[in-house]
Amino acid sequence: MISAPILSDRRQLVDSHGRTIRYLRISVTDRCDLRCRYCMAEQMTFLPRSALLQLEEIAIIAERFIARGVSKIRLSGGEPLVRRDVGELVDRLGSHVGHGLDELTMTTNGTRLAAHAGRLVAAGMKRVNVSLDSRDPANFRFITRHGDVGQVVQGILAARDAGLRVKINTVALAGLNEAEIPSLLQWCIDEGLDLSLIETMPLGAIDEDRVDRFVPLTRVFDALSAEFPLVRDSHRTGGPARYWRVEGTNTRLGLISPLTANFCDGCNRVRLTTDGKLYTCLGHDDQVDLKSALRSGGVAALDAAVDAALLSKPRAHDFRIGSNEAPAVARHMSVTGG
């Protein structure tokens, strides 16, 4: 029997480097209905459903983190909206917004967002991130291997119209979408959206060489600065992005640069996988099994496992990219959660 979570606790989550953990990212599934080339191999082996945390267990773990000072939770995957009954988890966690939790958000590929946007808003969600690497139908289909960009754009606009603030996440890819980024930013300005650009991360074995697609965001930013009036913005979301505002608009431009601008000094994040592993760093393999702790010893064992994980949280990741470099870790991004 899993004991009920305690919703107040003065023992905050502090790692061995003095960083207070305020942000929990939860992968509710490693499955996805797309197969983006930089993220997954075309033929993926996903976890058996029997290995996954139950939604009730995800909620209990999340509520323990809220009790101990986490103020932001992001649901991700894989694609979170492919998990059946994920709306029930959103409803439950959303009930804590304003009661210990400042923000509940989601990262999605947008394919199912139109059908879910209203429920996300009703649950207390204020914004979502949507992965979109190209607005060109053929290019989008190539990057995702079979995706329909029209379906994703429909989801984006439905979310915006439902009242969600939408940020587009775009991985900069040489030879695929680098030349399209200025027009993507202009589209975001026209539609009242934000845009964050991301350097490709060396996570998991894929079918292509990431070196061929790597684009330093310093180069992309220089190109955008020549076309748009970009002003540094102090806006922070709790994540690693640095922000600029497109002057005269409501659109922010974020840069996430794990390779050219390490963002670890102020890291306040940990990640829970869909099978219950807690990773304290995206770029390291150290983890603790919260599912086993919760099932065997309830909340007390869960707390002890979390404390043990924080003691081993590294100071920084060690991402490198090169023709002879293996991925930083063997697991794919969809396992840990974006």
Which residues fall in the annotated binding site for S-adenosyl-L-methionine?
A: 38, 78, 131, 201
- Distance, CA of 77 to CA of 84 (rounded, Å): 13
Picking from 329, 295, 330, 332, the residue whose alpha carbon sits closest to that of residue 314 is 329
| Beta carbons of 293 and 46 less than 8 angstroms apart | no
What distances in angstroms separate CA 19 from CA 215, 239, 270, 282, 310, one per listed residue? 30, 14, 11, 16, 10
Residue 176 is encoded by which pair of tokens? 């695929």
Picking from 207, 208, 202, the residue whose alpha carbon sits closest to that of residue 328 is 202
Enter the DSSP assignment of 255. Answer: E
Give, rounded to a whole angstrom, the gap between the first and last alpha carbons of the chain: 31
- Distance, CA of 20 to CA of 176 (rounded, Å): 38
> What is the dihedral angle through the alpha carbons of 132, 137, 138, 140, rounded to the nearest 10 degrees?
10
What distances in angstroms separate CA 194 from CA 232, 252, 254, one per listed residue? 14, 5, 8
Residues of each annotated binding site for [4Fe-4S] cluster? 32, 36, 39, 264, 267, 281
Enter the DSSP assignment of 214. Answer: B
Residues of each annotated binding site? 25, 32, 36, 38-39, 74, 78, 107, 131, 167, 201, 264, 267, 269-271, 281
- Give the phi and the psi of residue 86 in degrees, each rounded to 5: -60, -25
Residue 31 is encoded by which pair of tokens? 């499955």
- Distance, CA of 9 to CA of 45 (rounded, Å): 39
Q: Pairing between strand 277-279 and 269-272?
A: antiparallel
- Distance, CA of 163 to CA of 114 (rounded, Å): 12
Enter the DSSP assignment of 181. Answer: H
Query: Tokens 């649950």 — which residue?
Result: 123
